[in-house]
Copies of this chain bind each other. A is one copy, B any other.
Amino acid sequence: MTIGALGQATGVGAETIRYYERIELLPQPARTSGGYRVYRPEHVRRLNFIRRSRELGLSIDAVRELLSLASDRLRPCARVDRLVRDHIHDLDHKIEGLQKLRSALQRLADSCRGGGRVSECRILEALQEAEEALAGPDVECAEEDCAGRRASDKQPKPRRERRA
């Protein structure tokens, strides 16, 4: 099958497929004499796995690790679980942050009658004036490993070269 057919079969655009190949998330497929990529059913399976993982919000690196773990069928699946649970935990932080923003914005929006002039708009005043803790201070996470994981995120990650 061609790249277009693979795209149809998986719901992933052709340009994204080529991108995945470039970053070595998909292996290089065979080619026709004219240079067209030729895909096989195992590519469909792998790409579907990738798409579903991405739809769940997992990062490309997490997907990469899941794929590598999945190929080692005898290994314990603890690391798989941890990847997923860490991602849930990250989501919790993200959701909480957005909810805080939302309520700060709601307070702001409620303070304006909406019918006045810009010169008397409470929204603009609040943005212009001195600190009143628009968003509250952020409390730190109770979870054990959270700080550690977040710190290790900062670690410089070995970069891959393009065109190996």
Contact = CB atoms under 8 A, between A and B. Distances in A.
Q: Give this chain's copy count.
A: 2
A117 B55 contact: no
A57 B101 contact: yes
Interface residues of A, number: 53
Contact of A80 (B73, B101, B123): B123
Interface SS of chain A: helix, strand, loop or mixed?
A: helix
Interface of A: 45, 48-49, 52-53, 55-57, 66, 69-70, 72-78, 80-81, 84-85, 87-88, 91-92, 94-95, 98-99, 101-102, 104-106, 108-109, 112, 114-121, 123-124, 126-128, 134-135
19 contacts: A49-B127, A52-B134, A55-B135, A57-B101, A70-B118, A73-B119, A75-B117, A76-B117, A77-B112, A77-B116, A77-B124, A80-B118, A80-B123, A80-B124, A81-B114, A81-B123, A88-B102, A92-B102, A95-B95
